Amino acid sequence: MITAARNDIKSLTQAELAARLAELKQPAYRAGQILQWLYERQATSWDAMTNLPKPLRAELAKNFTLQTLELVRKQGARDTTQKFLWRLADHALVESVLIPANPALYGEASDRHTLCVSTQVGCAYGCKFCASGLDGWKRNLLPYEIVEQVMAVERWKAAEMRNSECGVRNEKPEPRAEVVPHSALRTPRLIDNLVIMGMGEPLANYDYLLKALRILNAPWGGGIGARKITISTSGLAPQIRKLADEPEQFRLAVSLHGATDVVREKIMPVNRKYPLRELTAALDYYQSKKSKMLTFEFILIAGVNDSLEQVKPLAALAKRLYAKVNLIPYNTVEGLTWSRPDEKTCEAFLAALVKQKVIATLRREKGHDIDAACGQLRLKTEKEIDNALNH
Ligand code: SAH
Ligand code: SF4
């Protein structure tokens, strides 16, 4: 059963929590105490909140849930790209990917980590290169399910550090430590960058996404700067305009993958609904409001969009919309026929873009071997579960 958004405490903003506590006739300072337990001390049970009177803890338990994500699988080794597969309350699976700092990819230099988070179970947009949409769309993630991906990775890291301090080597540390001890609090947070680029189309889950990002951005919550949060979209033009009108300075990445309608349509069905003329008009509006550099994601797929003919229109769009271009060699997805171009083709595409005076990078990534693109670990696990049940 899916819990209603208002019922989980980590789906609430500070103001909403204060209002709910006022209804329960609690003094205003309790909201601050509870938020501190949730986001600073990373408590995962009401009983861990020892400075709250017992009757209040019982009242909270009656009125809210305090749910955590269950880690079912982790791939990748320390200091490399690591993938986390989570099971939600209704047993749906979603992924997050932890990426060690890579200043060239998403903007400013960082000595910490980027977390790529999911916003939906599955995806309705069916891009032809993507594992996330292969089984269709199941549901939107609730705000706390987005927030919890960050908190659960932070708890995992804190538990790992505790274990290594005790000399215990354990790849899967205890997932349900009730509260992070003070000693762990003195270490800086692991994650200081977010990319909303996991499973699902974030702007199709607009309200819950914005709520979650506000909680993750707030000083009383996740404390991650808005400029360090990048939302990636396949190009939902009306929602891009809406986002332009929000006060926060979140960054925007657009999955372009084709610089002309003919090519983009072969790759992304959404281009029929919002063709480039409409998408770029929305981005013009976005830029008129934000004047921040955009990112274009451009997956290079052999024989589909890697021809140098794409370079000129791509450069024109990048210059007009003040965007840099991330070239990403396609990751093969089981069940899909496309393939990645050879290295020479990717390098030539990059060189041609740079010659057009576009800021561009080519991902020469390490994640290929662990199914780095989002959606793939979930797909694999679901297939394995199916196989286990059928044999
Ligand atoms: N729905 C949003 C965000 C999630 S997927 C969107 O489409 O923007 C977006 C990104 O995941 C893509 O732009 C690409 O960077 C990456 N990605 C997905 N499948 C991939 C694959 N097979 N190979 C390489 N990158 C992939
Ligand atoms: Fe959905 Fe993004 Fe994958 Fe397209 S690329 S199917 S929009 S998750």
Q: Domain residues of the chain, as ranges?
A: 2-63, 70-167+187-389
Q: Which of 127, 134, 296, 298 to mutate to test the pocket of ligand 2 (most atoms within 8 A of CB)?
A: 127
Q: What is the pTM of this model?
A: 0.90
CA of 60 to the centre of ligand 2 (A): 38
What pLDDT, on the 0 to 100 scale, is given for residue 374?
A: 58
Model pLDDT for residues 178-224, shown as the tens digit of each residue: 666 554 454 578 899 999 999 999 999 999 999 999 999 999 999 99
DSSP, collapsed to helix, strand or coil, labels residue 162 as helix
Beta-carbon-side half-sphere exposure of residue 343 (alpha carbons within 13 Å): 2
Decide if pLDDT at 71 tops 50.
yes
117 confidence band (pLDDT: 50, 70, 90): very high
Q: Is ligand 2 within 6 A of the CB of residue 76?
A: no
pLDDT in tens, 153-185: 999 988 888 887 766 554 454 455 566 655 445
**Whole-number Å distance between alpha carbons of 269 and 281:** 19
CB 279 within 8 A of CB 321: no
pLDDT tens by residue, 260-314: 999 999 999 999 999 999 999 999 999 999 978 999 999 999 999 999 999 999 9
Q: Is 374 an annotated catalytic residue?
A: yes
CA atoms within 13 A on the CB side of 187: 16
> What distance in angstroms lies between residue 180's CA and the mean position of ligand 1's atoms?
34
Q: Which of 95, 96, 123, 266 to mutate to test the pocket of ligand 2 (most atoms within 8 A of CB)?
A: 123
Sheet holding 251-255, edge to edge: 70-75, 82-87, 93-100, 113-116, 191-196, 229-233, 251-255, 294-300, 323-329, 360-362
129 CB near ligand 1 (under 6 Å): yes
Question: Poorest-confidence range of 104-113, 154-163, 241-250, 366-375?
Answer: 366-375
- Say if residues 141 and 208 touch (Cβ distance below 8 Å): yes
> Can you tell me which residue has the tokens 């990319």?
195
CA distance 155 to 303: 44
The two structure tokens encoding residue 296 = 């274009």
Following DSSP, what letter does each residue of 205-231 receive, concatenated?
Answer: GHHHHHHHHHHHHSTTTT---GGGEEE
Nearest ligand by distance to the CA of 132? 2
Nearest atom within ligand 1 for CA of residue 374: 18
pLDDT of 106 over the 60 cut: no
Q: Which residue has the tokens 């992924």?
A: 95
**Does the CB atom of residue 232 touch ligand 1 within 6 A?**
yes
Query: Which pair of structure tokens corresponds to residue 281?
Result: 């008009």
pLDDT score of 334: 83
Is 95 known to be catalytic? yes
Report the candidate in 157, 4, 184 with the shortest Cα–Cα distance to residue 90.
4
pLDDT for res 3:
43
Q: 2-63 maps to which CATH number?
A: 1.10.150.530
Which ligand approaches the C-alpha of residue 137 most closely?
2
Domain spanning 70-167+187-389 has what CATH number? 3.20.20.70
| Burial classification of residue 124, based on how many CB atoms lie within 10 Å of its CB (0-12 exposed, 13-18 middle, 19 or more buried) | middle
End-to-end Cα spacing for the chain: 28
> Which of 116-120, 136-140, 155-159, 253-257 is predicted with the least confidence, judged by mean pLDDT?
155-159
Q: In sequence order, which residues have a C-beta less than 8 Å from that of residue 313 and are 6 or more positions away?
A: 259, 260
Q: Which of 113-117, 140-144, 206-210, 387-391 has the lowest mean pLDDT?
A: 387-391
Q: Which atom of ligand 2 is nearest to the CA of 268?
A: 4
Q: Mean pLDDT of all residues in the chain?
A: 88
Confidence of residue 120 (pLDDT cuts 50, 70, 90): very high
* 260 or 5: which leads in pLDDT: 260
Is pLDDT above 90 for 362? Answer: yes
Q: Are 131 and 375 in contact (CB under 8 A)?
A: yes
Determine the pLDDT at residue 6: 45
Mean local confidence (pLDDT), 244-259: 97
> Which residue among 255, 305, 339, 346 is best mutated to probe the pocket of ligand 1, counting the most ligand atoms within 8 A of its Cβ?
255
Confidence at 112, pLDDT banded by 50, 70, 90: confident
Mean pLDDT to the nearest integer, 40-62 = 96
pLDDT value at position 375? 55
**DSSP letter string over 29-72?**
HHHHHHHIIIIIS---SGGG-TTS-HHHHHHHHHH-B---PEEE
